[in-house]
């Protein structure tokens, strides 16, 4: 593994890290577009999220009088932590030095760091909505994190490594065996992804109703560039989960060597996979209503149960078989 | 049911309690019966009515000013006439009494009828009538725009108001608070995130559970009752159409009906049929919008978009045929302002058929979608006893098992000629209120075609005669939210002396405070939307 820690590999890692914020708004725009078409609307252009971010960046950032320095620092912390987490996820190629220095557990940790600051910022100004959002976010994440770790451990046990690159490589070299443990882990991780990225049925990213919000309630007091960072961080998180699901469970197409041709194929493949995943998300969001807040624990318990079943089926069916 | 089979019993019970009730001139406020009471009998009369299970349909005060008085009164100086409306089985009874403006004190009906709480406080803020033994002494409509000892509806208060400056914020309103460990307060509004009207909600919550909800309204008080004074009939209808914009036809009709009854004017049959056509169109448009909005509040955008599309097309047709998307200013005293051409007639027919075809599959989805059912069924249950105690009408009452409908139970032209189907549900939850709306859309569509089938020929308006000074009229219309009551009294030269519109939301706003009990904070928006009280209609 040490041989991939070369300058060119680091350059590739940097390129990949830059691709995340560059592509994240596009995925959101795509999901919105598909949703609009499913609702018989024309919908805004897929590039609309970029325009919104630019608009926010050029707007004045207003901060409440009661805000502490934490309130101003939080957007940067949340953004950087989410971005760093994204940088450890193989997007185009599995030969990623960042994946070597930071494994899946670091990824989960970075996301947790971002969440802690997001929740703190939500409570900082002292409005009722922010506190409500923070408390709900913590309830959801407290249940989602174990489920996510469990799903991740299932993969790690199969590959005997917590390095995402190795996990994907192991899966690629598996000759496409359909493993029950992967199916369970896939289902579990998908549910976690829906909850963690604030999508229907757990949270509604498009709602205007403060009393029902989770993620949006915490960023209600932000404006201008602060809000732009928070929004971009949320979009990167969605992309991160999308790439995670796409590349771990459907790794075909990802570059295994750093040649331009295979990188181009890897890029095309991930775009295609994300487009399909985004469309599936849009369909799910169209046919489902948001669930009642206190049903969310049941939803996440299901995710935990699925991940646990994945782990068990790995131990029972796959080890030594 | 024979007309007024309960009135004799009510009179007998009044007599048992040694209350003296004199029969008033019944033509003046037809179709209601009028009873005059002494001021000290006001409270007990309400208590007896409540014991008999009569519905309270509102109370209002009418400062008579220094003008000529009714003969048999011993009140000196200017007087205030207070009137209350009671109803059972579609028969209306008006109780009225006189108090002197110098010492305007009456017993409150609120202990027996919790629904009239805010109506009495409204009357107190605007006319100075004090209701004794009222459980809530706080101001209601008055924020800071006028002082506590100023009463805008009295004759000595200028119509243009007293202060031209900026109204101070209403900061020191004493909300009821709940103390306890883990109990916290959530202030919401008056400015909301969506494009809706302003109103403040104060939640006391523990965790996500709502312990208490208190509403604070009055942010869109425009002084409707005051600026109505001195208007001519045409001007009043224009004003009435703006009391609550989404019910513009119903309000205009209620005002027109009250004035026509006061003036003894009967609009031609074609005009009443066209009015019903407009009113049913309004009902369909608003119900479609509401059904979609309720679905949107639980994150089911598909139904929202479909309903919004249907409503938009519907309103565009209204704009093309009747000059306004919401059909404002389509009514005039004595008739309607717009006729219906042959082409318009055919277009409406096609519209109705097209809407009928579209809503069936859509309503099927909304009625039986597991993900929606999960959110709507069992949420925000309004018990029938609460609905009855508060006097809820319209879809809120109908979803809780009270199937009162003015169109059927106290029919006015043209509903005396058409069968009115009144949907009833008993569950009282959000889902029931959605189902009632869906059934009403279907029933109104059916009724629209019957109205077109039997559309009489002839004039669409008759000249409106000048009513005598002191003539009074009562308008009772089933708007899309429920029963709208409207009281009108004329001054000299056919000018308006008093106009009071009573929105059904006076009774459904308190219902919202009750039905939210036992629900969680994030379910409030959908509960609120399912009730959809009018802010403007009660702020006046």
In this predicted complex, what is the ipTM? 0.87
Q: Which helix (H) or strand (E) holds B275?
A: helix B269-297
CB contact under 8 A, B302 and A210: no
Residue with tokens 């924020």: B143
Domain boundaries, chain A: 2-318
Residues paired with A292 in a beta bridge: none
Q: Which of B185, B188, B298 sits opposite A211 (nearest CB)?
A: B188
Q: Give me the percent of chain B exceeding a pLDDT of 90.
A: 58
Q: Which helix (H) or strand (E) holds B64?
A: strand B55-65
CATH 3.30.460.80 fits B7-132, yes or no: yes
Enumerate the residues of chain A whose CB falls inside 8 A of the CB of residue B187: 128
pLDDT one-digit tens code per residue, B306-322: 999 999 999 999 999 99
pLDDT one-digit tens code per residue, B90-125: 899 999 998 988 889 999 999 999 999 999 999 999
Please determine, for residue B69, whether its predicted confidence score (pLDDT) is greater than 60: no
CB contact under 8 A, B525 and A200: no
pLDDT per residue of chain A (321 residues) written in tens, 0 to 9: 445 668 888 888 899 999 999 999 999 999 999 999 998 889 999 999 999 999 999 999 999 899 999 999 999 999 999 999 999 999 888 888 887 888 888 999 999 999 999 999 999 988 888 989 999 999 999 999 999 999 988 888 888 888 888 888 888 887 667 788 889 999 999 999 999 998 888 888 888 888 888 888 999 999 999 999 999 999 999 999 999 999 988 888 888 888 889 889 999 999 999 999 999 999 999 988 889 888 899 999 999 999 999 999 988 887 765
CA distance B433 to chain A (A): 18
pLDDT one-digit tens code per residue, B3-30: 778 888 888 888 888 888 888 776 778 7
CATH topology of domain B224-539: Cytochrome-c3 Hydrogenase; chain B (1.10.645)
Enumerate the residues of chain B whose CB falls inside 8 A of the CB of residue A217: none
* CA-based nearest residue in chain B for residue A293: B522
CA distance A31 to chain B (A): 14
CA distance B304 to chain A (A): 9
The answer to whether residues B407 and B381 touch, using CB atoms and an 8 Å cutoff, is no
CB contact under 8 A, A212 and B297: yes
**A272 reaches B (C-beta below 8 A):** no
CB contact under 8 A, A211 and B525: yes
Enumerate the residues of chain B whose CB falls inside 8 A of the CB of residue A128: 184-187
DSSP summary character for residue B34? E
Q: Tell me the Ramachandran region of residue A282: left when phi exceeds 0, alpha when psi lies from -120 to 50, beta otherwise.
A: alpha
Q: How many CB atoms lie within 10 A of CB B465?
A: 14
The tokens describing B442, both together, are 């279907």
Residues contributing to the annotated binding site of B: 225
Enumerate the residues of chain B whose CB falls inside 8 A of the CB of residue A210: 188, 193
Residue with tokens 């019910």: B247
Ranges for all domains in chain B classified under CATH 3.30.460.80: 7-132
**A175 reaches B (C-beta below 8 A):** no
CA distances from B8 to B34, B56, B85 (A): 13, 18, 17
* CA-based nearest residue in chain A for residue B521: A211
Buried b (16+ CB within 10 A) or exposed e, A153-191: bbbbbbbebbbbbbbbbbbeeeeeeebebbebbbbbbbb
Enumerate the residues of chain A whose CB falls inside 8 A of the CB of residue B372: 289
pLDDT in the model for residue A175: 66
**B375 reaches A (C-beta below 8 A):** yes
The tokens describing A203, both together, are 């949270």
pLDDT in the model for residue B1: 44
3 state SS of B201? strand
CA distances from B172 to B91, B96, B166 (A): 42, 35, 17
The answer to whether residues B471 and B262 touch, using CB atoms and an 8 Å cutoff, is yes
Enumerate the residues of chain A whose CB falls inside 8 A of the CB of residue B309: 40
**A133 reaches B (C-beta below 8 A):** no
CB contact under 8 A, B301 and A210: no
3 state SS of A101? helix
pLDDT one-digit tens code per residue, B462-480: 999 988 888 899 999 999 9
Q: How many CB atoms lie within 10 A of CB A216?
A: 22
Radius of gyration of chain B (CA): 23
**A288 reaches B (C-beta below 8 A):** yes
* CA-based nearest residue in chain A for residue B378: A292
CA B239 to chain centre: 15
Enumerate the residues of chain A whose CB falls inside 8 A of the CB of residue B186: 128-129, 132, 211
pLDDT in the model for residue A1: 45
CA distance A278 to chain B (A): 17
Q: Which of A41, A204, A207 sits opposite B305 (nearest CB)?
A: A41
Residues contributing to the annotated binding site of B for Mg(2+): 225
- Give the C-alpha separation, B436 to B402, whole Å: 12
pLDDT one-digit tens code per residue, B526-539: 999 999 999 999 99
Q: Give me the percent of chain A exceeding a pLDDT of 70.
A: 97
pLDDT in the model for residue B70: 54
**B184 reaches A (C-beta below 8 A):** yes
Enumerate the residues of chain B whose CB falls inside 8 A of the CB of residue A38: 302
CB contact under 8 A, B375 and A40: no
Enumerate the residues of chain B whose CB falls inside 8 A of the CB of residue A291: 371, 374-375
Ranges for all domains in chain B classified under CATH 1.10.645.10: 224-539
* Mean pLDDT over the full length of chain B: 89
Enumerate the residues of chain B whose CB falls inside 8 A of the CB of residue A129: 186
* CA-based nearest residue in chain A for residue B379: A292
| Residue of B299, B362, B518, B526 to mutate, testing the A interface (most A Cβ within 10 Å of its Cβ) | B299
Q: Which of B186, B187, B523 sits opposite A292 (nearest CB)?
A: B523
**A295 reaches B (C-beta below 8 A):** yes
Radius of gyration of chain A (CA): 19
**A64 reaches B (C-beta below 8 A):** no
**B367 reaches A (C-beta below 8 A):** no
**B208 reaches A (C-beta below 8 A):** yes
Enumerate the residues of chain B whose CB falls inside 8 A of the CB of residue A287: 302, 371
Size of interface A-B (CB pairs under 8 A): 76
How many H-runs (helices) and E-runs (strands) does chain B carry?
Answer: 17, 15
**A212 reaches B (C-beta below 8 A):** yes
* CA-based nearest residue in chain A for residue B204: A128
CB contact under 8 A, A39 and B523: no
- Give the C-alpha separation, A237 to A146, whole Å: 18
CB contact under 8 A, B371 and A38: no
pLDDT one-digit tens code per residue, B385-431: 999 999 999 999 999 999 999 999 999 989 988 889 999 999 999 99
With 0-12 / 13-18 / 19 or more C-beta atoms within 10 angstroms meaning exposed / middle / buried, residue A318 is middle
| Residue of A136, A209, A286 to mutate, testing the B interface (most B Cβ within 10 Å of its Cβ) | A209
pLDDT in the model for residue B164: 67
**A40 reaches B (C-beta below 8 A):** yes
| Residue of B301, B361, B525, B526 to mutate, testing the A interface (most A Cβ within 10 Å of its Cβ) | B301
Interface of B with A in 279-298 (CB under 8 A): 295, 297-298
CB contact under 8 A, A128 and B301: no
Query: Of B527, B535, B533, B530, which is closest to residue B203 (Cα–Cα)?
Result: B527
The answer to whether residues A162 and A156 touch, using CB atoms and an 8 Å cutoff, is yes
CA distances from A138 to A53, A132, A134 (A): 27, 10, 6
Q: What is the dihedral of CA A59, A63, A69, A71, to 10 degrees?
A: -80
pLDDT one-digit tens code per residue, A287-319: 888 898 888 999 999 999 999 999 999 888 877
**B194 reaches A (C-beta below 8 A):** yes
3 state SS of B247? helix
**B209 reaches A (C-beta below 8 A):** no
């Amino acid at each position: 593994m040490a041989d991939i820690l070369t300058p060119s590999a680091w350059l590739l890692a940097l390129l990949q890290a830059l691709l995340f914020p560059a592509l994240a708004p596009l995925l959101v725009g795509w999901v919105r577009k598909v949703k609009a078409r499913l609702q018989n609307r024309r919908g805004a252009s897929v590039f609309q999220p970029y325009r919104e971010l630019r608009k926010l960046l050029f707007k004045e950032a207003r901060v409440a009088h009661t805000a502490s320095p934490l309130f101003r620092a939080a957007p940067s912390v949340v953004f950087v932590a989410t971005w760093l987490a994204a940088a450890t996820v193989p997007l185009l190629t599995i030969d990623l030095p960042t994946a070597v220095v930071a494994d899946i557990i670091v990824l989960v940790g970075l996301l947790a760091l971002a969440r802690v600051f997001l929740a703190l910022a939500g409570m900082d100004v002292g409005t009722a909505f922010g506190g409500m959002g923070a408390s709900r976010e913590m309830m959801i994440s407290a249940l989602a994190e174990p489920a996510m770790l469990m799903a991740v451990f299932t993969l790690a046990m199969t590959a005997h490594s917590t390095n995402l690159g190795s996990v994907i490589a192991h899966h690629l070299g598996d000759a496409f065996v359909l493993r029950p443990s992967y199916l369970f882990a896939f289902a579990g991780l998908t549910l976690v992804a829906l909850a963690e990225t604030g999508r229907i049925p757990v949270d509604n990213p498009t709602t205007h109703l403060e009393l029902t919000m989770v993620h949006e309630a915490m960023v209600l007091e932000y404006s201008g560039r602060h809000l732009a960072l928070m929004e971009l961080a949320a979009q990167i998180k969605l992309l991160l989960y999308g790439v995670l699901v796409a590349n771990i469970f459907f790794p075909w197409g990802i570059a295994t060597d750093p040649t331009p041709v295979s990188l181009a194929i890897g890029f095309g493949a991930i775009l295609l996979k994300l487009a399909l995943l985004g469309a599936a998300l849009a369909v799910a969001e169209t046919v489902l209503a948001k669930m009642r807040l206190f049903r969310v624990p049941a939803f996440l318990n299901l995710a935990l149960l699925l991940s646990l079943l994945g782990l068990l089926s790995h131990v029972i069916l796959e080890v030594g078989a | 049911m024979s007309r007024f089979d309960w009135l004799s019993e009510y009179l007998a019970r009044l007599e048992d309690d040694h209350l003296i009730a004199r029969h008033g001139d019944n033509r003046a406020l037809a179709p209601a019966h009028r009873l005059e009471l002494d001021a000290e009998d006001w409270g007990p009369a309400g208590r007896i009515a409540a014991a008999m299970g009569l519905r309270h349909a509102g109370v209002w005060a009418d400062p008579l000013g220094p003008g000529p008085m009714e003969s048999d009164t011993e009140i000196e100086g200017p007087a205030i006439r207070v009137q209350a409306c009671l109803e059972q089985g579609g028969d209306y009874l008006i109780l009225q009494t006189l108090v002197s403006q110098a010492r305007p004190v009456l017993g409150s009906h609120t202990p027996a009828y919790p629904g009239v709480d805010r109506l009495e406080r409204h009357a107190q803020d605007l006319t100075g009538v004090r209701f004794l033994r009222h459980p809530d002494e706080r101001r209601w409509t008055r924020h800071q725009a006028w002082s506590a000892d100023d009463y805008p509806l009295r004759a000595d208060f200028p119509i243009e108001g007293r202060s031209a400056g900026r109204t101070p914020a209403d900061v020191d309103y004493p909300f009821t608070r709940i103390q306890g460990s883990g109990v916290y307060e959530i202030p919401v509004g008056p400015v909301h995130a969506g494009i809706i009207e302003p109103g403040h909600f104060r939640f006391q919550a523990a965790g996500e559970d709502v312990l208490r909800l208190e509403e604070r309204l009055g942010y869109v008080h425009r002084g409707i009752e005051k600026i109505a004074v001195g208007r001519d009939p045409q001007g009043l209808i224009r004003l009435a159409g703006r009391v609550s914009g989404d019910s513009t036809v119903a309000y205009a009709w209620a005002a027109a009906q009250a004035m026509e009854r006061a003036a003894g004017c009967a609009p031609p049959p074609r005009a009443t049929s066209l009015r019903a056509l407009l009113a049913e169109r309004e009902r369909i448009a608003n119900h479609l919008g509401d059904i979609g909005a309720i679905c949107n509040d639980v994150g089911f955008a598909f139904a929202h978009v479909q309903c919004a599309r249907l409503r938009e097309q519907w309103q565009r047709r209204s704009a093309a045929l009747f000059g306004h998307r919401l059909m404002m200013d389509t009514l005039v005293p004595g008739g309607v302002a717009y006729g219906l051409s042959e082409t318009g007639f055919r277009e409406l027919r096609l519209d109705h058929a097209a809407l009928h075809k579209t809503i069936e599959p859509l309503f099927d989805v909304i009625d039986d979608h597991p993900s929606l059912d999960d959110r709507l069924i069992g949420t925000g249950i309004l018990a029938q006893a609460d609905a009855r105690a508060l006097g809820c009408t319209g879809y809120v009452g109908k979803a809780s098992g009270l199937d009162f409908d003015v169109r059927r139970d106290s029919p006015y032209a043209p509903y005396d000629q058409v069968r009115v189907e009144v949907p009833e549900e008993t569950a009282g939850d959000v889902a029931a209120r959605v189902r009632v709306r869906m059934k009403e859309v279907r029933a109104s569509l059916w009724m629209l075609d019957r109205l077109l089938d039997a559309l009489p020929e002839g004039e669409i308006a008759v000249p409106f005669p000048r009513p005598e000074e002191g003539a009074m009229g009562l308008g009772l219309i089933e708007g899309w939210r429920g029963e709208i009551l409207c009281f009108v009294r004329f001054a000299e030269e056919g000018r308006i002396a008093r106009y009071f519109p009573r929105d059904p939301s006076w009774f459904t706003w308190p219902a919202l405070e009750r039905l939210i009990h036992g629900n969680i904070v994030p379910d409030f928006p959908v509960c609120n939307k399912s009730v959809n009280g009018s802010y403007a209609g009660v702020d006046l």
